[in-house]
Amino acid sequence: LPCIVTMPPLRCLEYAAPHAFGRFGDIYHRIRRPNSMLTSEVNNLCSILRSCHSTLESLSLPGEIVSLSLNSSFNWDCLRELYVEGYWPEHAEISLLRILPNLRIASFRCYPAVLYPIIPPHISLESVDVFLPQLRRLEIASLVQADCVLSVLPSGLESLAIIEYPPPRGRYPTNILCASDLLDMFTDVCLPAVTHLKLWYRTDVSDVPFLRYLPRIFPSLRDLELH
């Protein structure tokens, strides 16, 4: 692609390539993108986004590319939906998401290998006092216990899903938190507008205390799906 690509005023852009493949013997496995591939893809994608960022309402990107493609100099005021899949970027900053002030739907389906929190513990919560204020639906996979994202979600959030990715497909789910982890992470959290909740978690001694705590966290809950 040339450095600048003239595009019509796109409302939706989907880049459906969540990962690269590497060959080990006779078997292909998913892998992180090599640097040469990553640079080429980011340059191509940015050349498209330069001409349509101000009109985009929905954007789907591979995880490794998202932090390099969401340029803070672009106008993201129209963006309402962000779908991220694959490997979470290794050095993503919280500013990555704070440049999306009107985001209403966010989905992060990321692999559990080498996890990086969206909001790590060293980030001061005062610095994210307004975190995606318009967000209404959040889906997040491979959440790590050190992530503070649950503590700064907006009070208007209506749907929350903490899932396993990739789906277990008949095997016992392993890339999920246990009940005691969730109980710790939801301490002092209240999301009064959430009506739909989906949770993947491993059972442990905190199952009953965690389930008893749910009505306090989600007083408006109507639909509950547990795995």
How does pLDDT run across 67-80, given as a tens digit for each residue? 888 888 899 999 99
Residue of 15 and 159 predicted with greater confidence:
159
Map out the domains of the chain as residue ranges.
Answer: 9-103, 104-227
| Of residues 106, 24, 32, the one with CA closest to residue 70 | 106
Q: For residue 48, is pLDDT > 70?
A: yes
- Cα–Cα distance for residue pair 143/154, rounded to 1 Å: 18
What predicted TM-score, i.e. pTM, was given to this entire model?
A: 0.88
- Cα–Cα distance for residue pair 120/125, rounded to 1 Å: 10
Tokens 């993503």 found at: 92
Q: At 96, is the pLDDT very low, low, confident or very high (cuts 50, 70, 90)?
A: confident
